[in-house]
Amino acid sequence: MTLGNMAESNKAFGEEKIGKLLLKFSVPAIISLMVAEMYNMVDSMFLGKAIGADAIGALTIAFPIQRLFLAISMLIAVGASTAVARSCGDEDFENLRTIIPNAIVLMLIMVSIIGTGIFIFQDKILISLGASEKIFPLAKDYVSIILIGVLFQSFTLIASYIITAFGNTKIVLFSTSIGAICNVIIDYLLINVFSYGVKGAAIATVISQIIGFIYVLTVFMKIKKELNFSIKLTLNKAVSLGIVYVGFSTFIIEISDAVVAAILNNLLSSYGGDLAIVTVGLTTRVSMFLFMTVMGISSAMQPIAAYNYGAGNYTRLKEVVKTAVIAVSVSSTILWAIFMIFAESLIGIFISDSAIIVGTAKAFRMVIAVFPCLGIYYLSISYCQAINRVKASFKLSIYRQIVVFIPLVYAIVVGLDMGVFGAWLAYPISDVISFITATIFIKYTYTSLEILEMHQIYKKNKAKLIKSRLAPAGI
């Protein structure tokens, strides 16, 4: 991919039919997110069936740690890919040679330091996350091994996002599928055939991450050679801060899930013991399939919007936002209906205990009761990132989980003494509040776009008028 080819490829952002373009970029984005989540999900499927509720509990305790590394990866991936897309829109291809190496070095530093810290203090961390004496050994076995693969997972995700920003979706689809397929096969062998249990699931995850990493690295090095940029172990402060600045709101969304999971594990273990932790773990895993679609459409809209914003094409940018709102609303409503109807069957994928399935299905339906509202919320965050409204995207990112949900869940569970039921009730209430806030914001920014569009039209018409007046008579 030469710079000329890249420019040609990115013309699609400004010229191709928006609906087709959004679909083209949504599919790989959803698959990328699915693969990032699938490692834990596939482990849960095999372990839940082979070992039972204790294994699900162990993976639920490990979930905040996995989410932390996904959050770091998304921080850099979104920040770097948005910067790449904006540079392509500005036709500033030289800037790519600075953005990409900085993203890689930033990932190496952050993931290595945090991974080492968690490995050293993992006993205290797992206990603080709500691990009981029964679940702790299983959780430790799992976490100790998956820490080996976090660097590979992070690079794969970041490289995939950057390649997508260049306009190349086919390679990303293939690369992200490799790890998921390998994980299913190796999980089956190590858990069902060789009976390695939780350790087998963790080993399968790491091996699959390495396989996916090797493929993406090969593709990435080819692009590196064609773009002629070098990778040096140095950081450009301004570029690195720019990456973090733009990706920070996505990081907050992901890390909020980790914080909420940690708080719920502790809170619910006091009211419902290990069974409550298993329930929240199953609910989280099934609902992730819903969130992948919403997040995928939102992240697909982002580089398209960023390109047109960078190119000053505000009329097309308005259409991008409108199309994305329709797409995310329709898809989330359809999926919500399917998941509400087949809740028991979906939960049954992870565990065989009928009593746990019935209890979890009731909780799950409460948790996703108003899920279609959330599409607008996540879309508003991605849109803010695309148009460089970083402060607004940050405020929206922390709003649902940190500002609304956490205080609300404590107020209902502890303050009103509603116990485990109160935790499930807090979800739809916080979702409705977040939806109302995001809708108001989208309407406000859409009006701002209309003003920019009118100003742009006025300037063009004024230039034409001046040109016509200056033209020689009789021509």
Q: Over the chain, what HEC string results?
A: CCHHHHHHHHHHHHHCCHHHHHHHHHHHHHHHHHHHHHHHHHHHHHHHHHCCHHHHHHHHHHHHHHHHHHHHHHHHHHHHHHHHHHHHHHCCHHHHHHHHHHHHHHHHHHHHHHHHHHHHCHHHHHHHCCCCCCCHHHHHHHHHHHHHHHHHHHHHHHHHHHHHHCCCCHHHHHHHHHHHHHHHHHHHHHHHHCCCHHHHHHHHHHHHHHHHHHHHHHHHHHHHHHHCCCCCCCCCHHHHHHHHHHHHHHHHHHHHHHHHHHHHHHHHHHHHHHHHHHHHHHHHHHHHHHHHHHHHHHHHHHHHHHHHHHCCCHHHHHHHHHHHHHHHHHHHHHHHHHHHHCHHHHHCCCCCCHHHHHHHHHHHHHHCCCHHHHHHHHHHHHHHHHCCCHHHHHHHHHHHHHHHHHHHHHHHHHHCCCHHHHHHHHHHHHHHHHHHHHHHHHHHHHHHHHHHHHHHHHHHHHHHHHHHHHCCCCC
pLDDT tier at 77, thresholds 50, 70, 90: very high
Mean pLDDT in the chain? Answer: 84
**pLDDT score for 468:** 63
Residue 443 has pLDDT above 70, yes or no: yes
328 or 261, which is more confident: 328
Question: What is the pLDDT, as a whole number, of residue 285?
Answer: 84
Higher-pLDDT residue of 36 and 245 is: 245
> Which range is least confidently modeled, 4-18, 140-154, 231-245, 337-351?
4-18
Q: What is the pLDDT of residues 165-220, one digit of tens each?
A: 777 767 666 777 788 889 899 999 999 999 999 999 999 999 999 998 998 888 88
pLDDT in the model for residue 475: 45
Q: Span 452-468, mean pLDDT?
A: 58
Q: Band the pLDDT of 431: cuts 50, 70, 90.
A: very high
Q: For the whole model, what pTM was predicted?
A: 0.74
Report which of residues 337 and 461 the model is more confident about. 337
How confident is the model over 266-282, as pLDDT tens digits? 888 877 778 888 898 89
| pLDDT 10s digits, 282-311 | 998 888 888 888 988 998 888 888 888 877
Q: What is the pLDDT of residue 369?
A: 95
> What's the pLDDT at 391?
82
The segment with the largest mean pLDDT, out of 136-145, 154-163, 442-451, is: 136-145
333 against 469, higher pLDDT: 333
